[in-house]
Amino acid sequence: MKDWLLQKGAEAALGVWLRDYGKVRSVSLNSVERWCEIEVELLGEAVPIRVRAEEVTFRSEATNIHVRIGRLQSSREWLTRLGTKYAVGREFQLPPAAATAVRVLL
In terms of residue numbers, what domain contains 47?
2-105
Burial degree of 96 (CB within 10 A; 0-12, 13-18, 19+):
exposed
SS3 assignment, position 43: coil
Query: What confidence score (pLDDT) does residue 11 get?
Result: 79
pLDDT tens column, 35-90: 999 999 999 999 999 999 999 988 888 888 888 999 999 999 999 999 999 999 99
102 compared with 75, residue with greater pLDDT: 75
pTM over 0.75: yes
Count of the separate structural domains present in the chain: 1
Query: What confidence score (pLDDT) does residue 70 get?
Result: 97
pLDDT tens column, 9-36: 777 777 888 899 999 999 898 888 999 9
Query: What confidence score (pLDDT) does residue 105 get?
Result: 61
SS3 assignment, position 90: coil
SS3 content of the chain, % helix, strand, coil (to 5): 35, 40, 25
Contact 47, 55 (CB under 8 A): no
Query: What confidence score (pLDDT) does residue 14 get?
Result: 79
